[in-house]
A and B are shown apart, each in its own frame.
Chain A
Amino acid sequence: MPEDVPPRQTIALPRGCWCGSTSYNLAFPPAVSGGYFVGVNSHKDVVITGWGCVSPLGGDALTTWEALMRGESARGEITCIPVEGCRVTQGAEAHLPELSGVSKKEVSRLSRASRLAIPAARQAMAHAGILDDNGRSVFSRLELSISTTACGMERGEAFMRDICSGNTRHLASKISRYPAHQQIGDLQQHLGFSGPSMIVSNACASGANAIGHAADLLRAGFADIVLAGGYEALCELVFCGFDSLQALDPDLCKPFDLHRRGLMLGEGAAFLVMETSAHANHRGAKIKGRLAGYGHTTDTHHITQPDPTGAPLEGAIHRALQQAGLKPSEIGYLNAHGTATVFNDGAEAAAFARVFAEDLATVRISSTKAAIGHTLGAAGSLEAVFALECLRTGDIPPQINTTNPIPELAPCLSRPGDKLTKPAVLSVNLGFGGSNAALVFTAA
């Protein structure tokens, strides 16, 4: 059994310091004062043997990664949902991949979310070598750790529209594919497995939570292999919601820019096949990366705004680093949440400045949301795929659209051609309701 996880640590905690801006005691460095180090007491090594994604930049992980490295952005007019009348009508829409071997009738029944999730999960499983010749899982029971925020919302919206217009035909077909567990059912049916599933909906941090939860399951011995990931399809309710908050930038999405005005919504799906190293080695799978650490905290500051001090995010990062047994100076690339809203980017910058201190200038930071948009429940999973691609290739995605960076992060925003020179990559996400999550990845 690999022993690269630090030994169990018992840490005395001051009262009430684990979460919440009002109770966070900054007199204690978060790495010491933080309360719950998920999986620190485990000696199981969590490895990643495959990944896949569908994004607005491409129908697979490689195409997406190459476009990202070229500095492309998928911004364009939204056509898949009605957005007429919104202040902003642009976003990052994905091209739905063909579903081979699935009848047109069945495809028409699938929600847009499932049409993103199934090909992404299939890629991950193929990459991990757990699909048979018929494209079915070689494991009849495979645990799922999944994230989404809007489920198959366009089906629910169609149901609502029909009810309002008095059209009561085919209501069942619309509403039946809306709930989140129906996308789970679609994944299981099309990829040939069953088993327990956990669908976390912690807003925009959900994707990272799903991956972190999978690691917890593996470390605690609840599972040997988990398919983890997230999906999110553009839908009218959420698009209009962000538009109503005036959180969408009418121009380019400019993370960490002094003149940032908001986010660009996107859609996509990404999945990772995660295993204990013992399980991967036993089946002869190639280990392609490791999830070394996971931390998550809850910030009670405000429903839609993060704690401006960034302290809860700082706590999550410290916890992930502690579990990974790494120092901040060992992080070479940080895939930031970077929504390009005033509040998010400010809180993140404050947290990064404190976590990395004098090492900040040596970290390369970018937000890939300027390229693929904010994919909400899928964001953490897509960005995990980018972290793994960064470790695989040694390339760092450049920060695009940001021409006047905020001074705190100006020296560390990544530029075209930047290379990874340190052993680990950090990916962080924040969400409505105060969810914060951090994942630390290392190479195989």
Chain B
Amino acid sequence: MKNPVSILSFGISCPGGTSAEALEDFSKWPVESVPEAGGCRLHEVARINLSAEPVNRWRMKPRLRRASPLSHHLIEAIAQTLEARPDIDPARVGVVGAFFFGCLEYSVRFYKGLSTDGRRFASPILFPETVVNTPLSHVVAELGIGGPVYSQVGDTSCWVSALRTACLWIESGDIDHVIVAGAEEFEPHLLAAFHSLRWFTADHPFRIAEGAGAVLIGKKTPDAIADITRIADGYTFRTRDQARIAGVECLGEFDIKAPVVDTATSWASQTAASLLSNRQLVSLSQGLRHDGFTASSVWNTILAAQQPHYPRLVVPHWGLSQNIAAVEISRAANI
């Protein structure tokens, strides 16, 4: 990024609710014990009840009646960003969505269907809902968003890549405002996948959450919630040892005096703790941290943007599969 951008509004759909306060205390999030797919091992998971208010307001919308839970999480978060800024015309807003797993629930249902019923009986209704960009397509159609739309995929850190795309569009003068969203939905096969990858261990508890977050950004403006002043992305790794090096390089891009938000989960917790021993580590929420992957990336950014006591905060995005990125949030101009 060449110039800072401002966060103008945000939206949240998480198991704890739809307010920023919900992100401050994970212990208040409802959890349920869910068995791994194909097994009996139970894991605690934080899920969103789509039939409860206010997120149930989308259930009867024609395009969303049969849409995936991911679409519902996403539209709630994005709608909030627009509702908070009625002065901004949605028809002139772009959207970049970041997804780690995409429409997992419908993909699993579709694949199970063709496996059990036969390929000829695969569901033509479910298949389009398995496509990665379908949720964002529903959202822009329903909310009347008229700017460019990209769906990006990657690990947790791909939200930073999406943010970079949004900054590029703003920098190029193509568009004034872009919503950068991250969203994930839960499906029990995730538990089996992460268990097989040894992300659940006694040393580092790991609790999966679902939901979405979105921030509306634009050119730097004095009435913003906060500014994004620096992005470091593209610190890649294949092994956990390489991840340590990538983390050092990534965080080395930022002023050593800038406090760093504690965002690490699973195996990255230990890596982060050792990497950040010489820096001021700030925890912005209470209770066992839940990982909503790209959604968490946005939630952490929103939390950092709302801290009145810190003029600057570095928010690391530990993409636990391939890439580490970080974003500097500044409130200096706004205090």
By a beta-carbon cutoff of 8 Å, the part of chain A in contact with chain B is 8, 13, 15-20, 23, 35-42, 82-87, 141, 143, 148-149, 151, 157, 159-161, 163-164, 166, 168, 171-172, 175-176, 179-182, 184-185, 188-189, 194-203, 209, 213, 216-217, 219-222, 236-237, 240-246, 296-298, 300, 303-304, 431-435
Contacts and interface: CB of A to CB of B under 8 A. Distances in A.
A36 B127 contact: no
A42 B149 contact: no
Interface residues of B, number: 76
Interface string B225-269: 000000001111010000000000000000000000000000000
A300 B137 contact: yes
Given A19-B146, A182-B321, A435 B133 contact: yes
A10 to B, nearest CB: 9
A300 B140 contact: yes
Interface string B148-172: 1111111100100100110011011
Contacts of B150: 200, 202, 209, 213
Contacts of B114: 236-237, 240, 244
Contacts of A23: 91, 144, 146
Interface in B118-143: 118-120, 122-124, 127-134, 136-138, 140-141
A41 B173 contact: yes
Contact of B2 (A86, A149, A163, A220): A220
B165 A244 contact: no
B196 interface: yes
21 contacts: A23-B144, A36-B175, A39-B172, A40-B173, A41-B172, A41-B173, A82-B119, A160-B112, A171-B196, A179-B154, A179-B155, A180-B153, A181-B319, A181-B321, A197-B154, A203-B133, A220-B171, A240-B119, A243-B122, A433-B151, A435-B149
B2 A222 contact: yes
B108 A168 contact: no
A432 B128 contact: yes
B174 A36 contact: yes
B147 interface: yes
Nearest to A21: B141
B165 A196 contact: no
Nearest to B63: A303
B197 interface: yes
A300 B322 contact: no
B234 A296 contact: no
B172 A201 contact: no
The 4 A-B residue pairs whose C-beta atoms are closest, nearest first, are A196-B234, A433-B137, A241-B127, A300-B141
Contacts of A245: 124, 127-128
B148 A298 contact: yes
A38 B174 contact: yes
A203 B134 CA distance: 9
B91 A175 contact: no
B86 interface: no
A245 B130 CA distance: 13
Given A181-B154, A189-B238, A245-B127, 13 more contacts: A19-B147, A20-B141, A38-B172, A85-B118, A85-B119, A166-B38, A199-B161, A201-B153, A202-B150, A216-B172, A236-B111, A243-B122, A433-B137
A35 B189 contact: no
Contacts of B174: 36-39
B323 A197 contact: yes
Contacts of B102: 201
Q: Which residue, of A87, A175, A202, A245, has the highest number of chain B Cβ atoms within 10 A?
A: A202
B94 interface: yes
Given A182-B321, A217-B168, A172 B119 contact: no
Q: Which residue, of B94, B102, B129, B172, has the highest number of chain A Cβ atoms within 10 A?
A: B172
A86 B144 contact: no
Contacts of A304: 128
Contacts of A175: 193, 196-197
A200 B158 contact: no
B127 A244 contact: yes
Given A303-B137, A432-B131, A159 B193 contact: yes
A176 B192 CA distance: 12
Given A168-B39, A172-B196, A240-B119, A35 B175 contact: yes
